[in-house]
Amino acid sequence: MSGEPVFFGVRHLSPAGAFHLRRLLDDVRPQLVLVEAPADLEPLLPDIVRSGTQPPIAMLAYTREPPVRSLLYPLAEYSPEYQAMLWAREHNVPCRFMDLPSDVFLALSTGDGIEEEPGDEAGEEDCAEEAAGERKTPDETGPDGESGADTAGTTGNRPDGKDEREAHELFWERVLEHAADGESYRLGAAAYGKQLRLREETENRGARHEHAEARIREAHMRRVIGQALAAGVPAERMVVVTGAYHLEGLRNVPPLTDAELKALPRRAAACTLMPYTSYRLSSRSGYGAGAKAPAYSSLIWQGLHRQEPRWHARAYLARVARFQRQEGHPVSTADVIEAVRLADALALLRGSAVPALPDLRDAAITCLGGGSLARISRAVADTEIGTLMGTLPERVSRTSLQDDFDRSLRDLKLERFRTPVEQGLTLDLRENRRVKSAKSAFLGLRRSFFLHRLRVLGISFAMLRDGSTGRDEGWNLRWTPETEIELVERSLTGNSIRQAVAAHFRQTLDEAGSPAAVAAVIEEAFSCGMSTELHRAAAALQAVSIEATELGDLAATADRLSFVLRFGDVRRMDTRPLEPLLQQIFLRCCLLLSAACDCDDKAAEPILSAMDSLDGVARAHAFLPEEFWLRALDDEAERDEGNACLSGLAAAILLERGKMPDDRLQRLVRRRLSPGMPVDRGAGWFAGLVRRNRHALMGCLSLWEDLAQYVDSLDDEEFKRALLVLRRALADFSAGEKNGIAENLAEIWGLGGAQTSEVLNAALSGEAEEMLQDIESFNFDDL
């Protein structure tokens, strides 16, 4: 081949690369610009460089059929590729994409990861998906070796992997982002790429699959270059923009032949442009090493244009300071000056003339944050990552999320609901044993998962009707244009409905503060059939609940968990990890019970229901440490200092469980209803006791004997108070139960049962009503 085109090796999100590339383009004045991006995405080019387009944006290629795989090519303002495309348009020079077409790419990447199926409970873990996403687009993530190193680290969050990535990042910034001129950048990047490649070969890092894939891609790029040369573009007037890693390959790998290209697998794919956010660009949301700090890179980009090598440092620190001031924390200009000086000194100590990100952050923490990152963490996040969101010109752009929605409707036979008329749908979640395939046997369940996911995302297509149970669900479905808009909005958080829901859960979890809020997420994740998120929420619940001391809240949480555990089978979810969690919360409830029982009657209300639900939980699950619960109840039943009503309820529960022998009950009743006990406490205890298992109590004659004796022993004033409490205690007894009590008492007083009952159940006379009113308004505090 005659001569070699002008290669420019870059890192895909590198401000210095973009800057120097533009200068190079100005110098070379090429007739053709080749960019490393899938060849079949070239139709997107006019829209990318259109004047209404504002990066960050991303090119997205995705398979049309499940399992869904997608490739994402984010472009920031300072992406060398983006600047190359812009330059080409500005100078009316053709620009072409030369990388392997995305349909081949998607078919090649058979590794695990991004794959997912609607209703597939064993869906891959989310971060694995994203990691795989990175892996598939190794070239945007970095001059590629980075992502090579990364791939090795994706299997687990090994700390050394992270350190190594940070070291790479820092090295790149110190040496290349702040390189003195274009030529040194170009040579440096080339050397860097070469070393990465060498290291990969010698240490055999990264999977073989990746190596092979990289070679195929290089061969394809080589082929496009060859075609261009053959078409008569002189080599010295052609600029090739590619990841630094590929430079060696582009020189040495033989071009792909027609036959080879034909032999490559393909999968039908579609592509689109989507607005991107700086948050998604940053590694914090799971996207690899390339753009750890998009907003900071932007500052470097601006600094380069101002021709001031340290502008970015001052801008960074000034921005952190401004953010702090806006948030109401005083930061003086003197502090910023000190921070700039410290950053310079740190850079010097670490062997560099220009401060890099870690220097700046350390300086900001020390001088602006009083030594603590937590104090300025939001300012730092805002300055490093930013909240920029890209925009695309007005036009129909179909997102993968919309496609996923359509596909799911088809797959779940829900297409007839795609009308603006509301229709009802009732689902039976249990297995349908009359059909053959597993897919249709669980159709109801899969539909339920899908609809719940839409509901969680706030997509107004599906509304859950009230009165749905653990086994059956009623839905109202209705399609509106808003549905599409909501889908597009949601497409920013994920490429499929599943991913979007996962992102939603992540965010809710981050914001949730109380155990009940996290338990709500657990329940939602359970409804949506997302076990990964369920387990993540479970871990979060463990973290949140540790600080919780509110028995009512914890008991409600335990109740929710218990519900999920009981219906786990219906939804075919693995809920076992929740068991130890429930165990812990239950244990804490047992430990907290005694303290919670020291309260007045008003505060006792939630504790009463908490005890009821805890007892239910304790019975429902054999793995819970029941002895703790029984012991706590035991203590409470015996304790005279706590709330009387709660103590009574404790005794009632023990009685119901057969842990309260008759003689002990009798002893307790006598003590509680003895004259030494204040009247409202005695009656309150009784009220607690009769909250449960009334039939057993009804049959226990001695109890009523004691009560009768007790009532007899009261004087008039005390009787009024006791009457009030006892009347309340017995208020929600049914007529039949009241009859039973009447019979008991009649027996004791030696009256006829029927007669007494008549009196009890008769409507109150006017006089009695008045008396009761008096008592109701009676203020005990005056006594």
> Taking every pair of C-alpha atoms in the chain, what is the biggest distance, in angstroms?
122
Q: How far is the CB of 597 from another protein (least distance, A)?
A: 15
Q: Which CB, 367 or 409, lies closer to another protein?
A: 367
Q: How far is the CB of 209 from another protein (least distance, A)?
A: 31
Say how far apart CA 301 and CA 305 lie, in whole Å: 7
Query: In which element (H, E) is residue 34 found?
Result: strand 32-38
First to last CA, the chain: 109
- Assess contact for 216 and 100: CB atoms under 8 A: yes
Q: How far is the CB of 595 from another protein (least distance, A)?
A: 9
Say how far apart CA 594 and CA 104 lie, in whole Å: 66
| HEC-encoded secondary structure of 187-256 | HHHHHHHHHHHHHHHHHCCCCHHHHHHHHHHHHHHHHHHHHHHHCCCCHHHEEEEEEHHHHHHHHHCCCC
N residues, the chain: 783
Q: How far is the CB of 230 from another protein (least distance, A)?
A: 54
Contacts of 778 (CB under 8 A, 6+ apart): 720, 721, 724
Strand ranges for 635-728 from DSSP E: none
Q: How far is the CB of 141 from another protein (least distance, A)?
A: 26
| HEC-encoded secondary structure of 51-86 | CCCECCEEEEEEECCCCCCEEEEEECCCCHHHHHHH
DSSP β-ladder status, 6-10 and 32-38: unpaired
* Residue 199: how many other CB atoms lie within 10 Å: 14
Q: Which CB, 350 or 418, lies closer to another protein?
A: 350
Q: Which CB, 372 or 480, lies closer to another protein?
A: 372
Q: Which of 401, 405, 400 is nearest to 418 (CA)?
A: 405
Q: Which CB, 366 or 514, lies closer to another protein?
A: 366
Q: Which CB, 429 or 518, lies closer to another protein?
A: 518
For residue 399, what are the CA distances in angstroms to 257, 279, 491?
34, 19, 7
Q: State whether residue 533 is helix, strand or coil.
A: helix
Tokens representing 716 are 């008039």
Q: Which CB, 338 or 737, lies closer to another protein?
A: 338
Q: How far is the CB of 25 from another protein (least distance, A)?
A: 39
Q: How far is the CB of 671 from another protein (least distance, A)?
A: 27
Q: How far is the CB of 612 from another protein (least distance, A)?
A: 24
Query: In which element (H, E) is residue 7 found?
Result: strand 6-10
Tokens representing 340 are 């700039």
What radius of gyration, in Å, describes the C-alpha atoms of the chain? 36
Say how far apart CA 313 and CA 296 lie, in whole Å: 9
Q: Which CB, 3 or 370, lies closer to another protein?
A: 370
Q: How far is the CB of 539 from another protein (least distance, A)?
A: 7
Say how far apart CA 708 and CA 716 lie, in whole Å: 15
Say how far apart CA 314 and CA 344 lie, in whole Å: 11
Q: Binding residues for another protein, per CB under 8 A?
A: 330, 332, 334-335, 338, 341-342, 345-346, 348-350, 358, 362-363, 366-367, 370-372, 539, 542-547, 584, 587-588, 591
Tokens representing 565 are 């555990």
Q: Which residues pair with 33 in a beta bridge?
A: 95, 239
Q: Which of 264, 164, 251 is nearest to 205 (CA)?
A: 164
Q: Which CB, 188 or 358, lies closer to another protein?
A: 358
Q: How far is the CB of 628 from another protein (least distance, A)?
A: 9
Say how far apart CA 183 and CA 287 lie, in whole Å: 30
Q: Which CB, 85 or 593, lies closer to another protein?
A: 593
Q: How far is the CB of 339 from another protein (least distance, A)?
A: 9
Q: Which CB, 163 or 717, lies closer to another protein?
A: 163
Q: How far is the CB of 752 from another protein (least distance, A)?
A: 56
Q: Which CB, 327 or 569, lies closer to another protein?
A: 327
Contacts of 599 (CB under 8 A, 6+ apart): 607, 643, 646
Q: How far is the CB of 427 from another protein (least distance, A)?
A: 35
* Residue 66: how many other CB atoms lie within 10 Å: 16
Q: How far is the CB of 603 from another protein (least distance, A)?
A: 20
